Amino acid sequence: MNVIEAKVVRSVDKEGIPCGEVQVSTDDPQCEQVLAYFSLSRDEDYDLVSIVRSDADLLTDWFDNSMHTAYEEITMQWFENENGKTDWGRRETFKQQVLSSGQVRSELGRLLG
C-alpha cells in the first residue's frame, strides 16, 4: 500500500495524547481513505499513534450517526506480519510517506509544536 495524498485536518486528543489528524488517500482498494493520527515524539519527530478506516459518508454522517460503525481502528491489521507481530519496516515506510506528502510535516509542527 502506498500513500497517494495526505493532508492535515485538525488537532485532536487520542487517549490523552495531543495528535494531528491526517486524512490519507492510498492505493489500497480495501482502504482508499484512512485517518492517521500523529503525536510529537521525544526526539522531535512524530509517532504514528493509530490508523482508522473511515466509512463515513458526508451526505449522511454530518451528524453523530449511530446507525453503523463509521470508524474502525486498523493499525494492527495493516502492519501485522504472518507471525502476528508488528512489521515495523512497513509501518515506518507508511509513516514516512505520510509525513513527506505535501505540507504534512510542517502543518503537524504548527499544530503540535
The whole-number pLDDT of residue 58 equals 46
**Mean pLDDT value of segment 77-103:** 84
Using CA atoms, how far residue 81 sits from 38, 53, 85, 91, 107, in Å, is 22, 19, 6, 11, 31
Q: According to DSSP H, which parts of 1-113 are helical?
A: 75-79, 88-99, 104-112
User: Is the pLDDT at 110 greater than 90, yes or no?
Assistant: yes
DSSP SS3 for 101: coil
φ, ψ at 68 (rounded to 5°): -155, 170
The string of pLDDT tens digits covering residues 28-85 is 888 788 999 999 998 878 999 999 986 655 445 545 554 545 667 777 676 677 777 7
Note the pTM of the prediction, 2 decimals: 0.81
In the predicted structure, residue 106 carries a pLDDT above the cut 80: yes
pLDDT of residue 3: 93
Whole-angstrom Cα distance, residue 90 to residue 55?
24
DSSP run (H or E) holding 26:
strand 17-26
